[in-house]
Amino acid sequence: MSSGTHKNWSPAAFPADPEATRQLQEWDAEEGYSLYGIEHDFRGADLSGGDFTKAWFTQAVLAGVRLTGAIFYRADLQSADLTGADLTGADLVRANLDGAVLRSARLDGADMVKASLQGVDASGASFRGTRIMGASLFGVDMAGADLTDAVLFQNTFKVTVDDNTVLRGLTGTVFGPITVNNGDSSRELAGAELEAWIGARGGQVQVIPPRRAPQ
């Protein structure tokens, strides 16, 4: 049981794994330190509404875990498995998601301002209404992802999409280019060509010229 720390929050359901449950219980009972969930298996848990600011979930298994409205401000989720996780309305501001698996995850309405996503598999993920402003996306697979009404702002946006990626209502500014996969072939789009391609799919995004390094 919670001892009243963390704003009287305790998980709606604990993980099936006893070690992960023990880590959560110890952290929940004592203020003043970040949750240490590195390489732990949190499957079966419902951690919705938890405040995991600066927590360590490096290489943790969070597949299918309910994380709605949870706070991951500056949390380390590097190489975490979030396949099918529900992160609806979650706070992922400045979170490190490099190498994470977000396949089929739900991030609708999440706040991903200045988050880092490098080498992320987000295929089939839902980003409906997600604020992805100022985030760094390098080598992110967004094939089949849903970006309906998502908002970008000066994003590094080196992502791979396909004809099943939904861009309706996508707005903001990005640095390209993106890669479009079409069956066995792929092509890179940047500048006005990228703007037109997104526009044809119901989005309205301005592509910013790449920043030039000083000579």
Q: What is the pLDDT of residue 97?
A: 98
Q: What is the pLDDT of residue 24?
A: 95
Helix (H) or strand (E) holding 188: strand 185-189
Query: Which pair of tokens denotes residue 178?
Result: 């993106």
The total number of residues shown for the chain amounts to 215
**Cβ atoms of residues 19 and 25 within 8 Å:** no
> What secondary structure does DSSP assign to 116-181, as a single string?
EEES-B-TT-B-TT-B-TT-EEEEEE-TT-B-TT-B-SSEEEEEEEETT-B-TT-EEEEE--EEEE
Residues 47-77: b if buried by 16+ CB within 10 A, e if exposed: bbbbebeebbbbbbbbbbbbbbbbbbebbbb
Query: Which pair of tokens denotes residue 150?
Result: 């998502």
- Digitized pLDDT (tens) for each residue of the chain, 215 residues in all: 233 345 579 999 999 999 999 999 999 888 778 899 999 999 999 999 999 999 999 999 999 999 999 999 999 999 999 999 999 999 999 999 999 999 999 999 999 999 999 999 999 999 999 999 999 999 999 999 999 999 999 999 999 999 999 999 999 999 989 999 988 899 999 999 999 999 999 999 999 987 654 55
Q: What is the pLDDT of residue 1?
A: 29
Give this prediction's pTM. 0.93
Q: What is the pLDDT of residue 2?
A: 33
> How far is residue 164's CA from residue 145's CA, in Å, rounded to a whole number?
7
